[in-house]
């Protein structure tokens, strides 16, 4: 008995390597969308370092604001990479994802992160940000 696997045609190989998707309901949109696993190329883009955010031509110096911006940027890129329409086409650019209604943004973020098994505890992050904000107000 041989350990060799069968040889496939180029079409069958391409079909086998298509992104894995899951159809998820997004109540705030009133419809369902496909969420896909991150591709290798998307993964490189998601974790590519970004320049520090600027406000009014000045660099942000508040660490909390920098963290919020970094998380928002990362989640927006994740949504842009992983949310697909009925034709398996990407729905949002990063800028469009960043400007979504808060309910839609949160629902999509949670679905994308869960399907990709991303270990990001948004509740803990929000709690830490709130604590830091309260400290800076004192």
In the chain, domain spans: 19-137
SS3 at position 116? coil
Radius of gyration of the chain measured on its C-alpha atoms: 19
User: What's residue 86's pLDDT?
Assistant: 93
Domain at 19-137: CATH architecture: 2-Layer Sandwich (3.30)
- Whether pTM > 0.85 for this model: the answer is no
With cut-offs at 50, 70 and 90, classify the pLDDT of residue 83: very high
What would the pLDDT profile of 15-47 be if each residue is shown by its tens digit? 776 778 999 999 999 999 999 998 777 776 776
């Amino acid at each position: 008995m041989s350990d060799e696997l069968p040889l496939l045609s180029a079409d069958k190989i391409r079909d086998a390597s298509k992104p894995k998707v899951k159809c998820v309901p997004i109540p705030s949109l009133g419809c369902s969308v496909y969420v896909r696993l991150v591709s290798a190329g998307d993964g490189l883009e998601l974790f590519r370092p970004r320049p520090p955010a600027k406000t009014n031509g000045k660099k942000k110096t508040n660490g909390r604001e920098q963290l919020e911006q970094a998380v928002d940027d990362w989640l927006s890129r994740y949504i842009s990479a992983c949310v697909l329409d009925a034709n398996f086409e990407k729905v949002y650019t990063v800028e469009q994802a960043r400007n979504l209604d808060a309910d839609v943004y949160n629902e999509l973020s949670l679905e994308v992160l869960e399907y990709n098994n991303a270990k990001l505890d948004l509740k803990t992050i929000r709690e830490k940000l709130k604590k830091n904000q309260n400290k800076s107000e004192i």
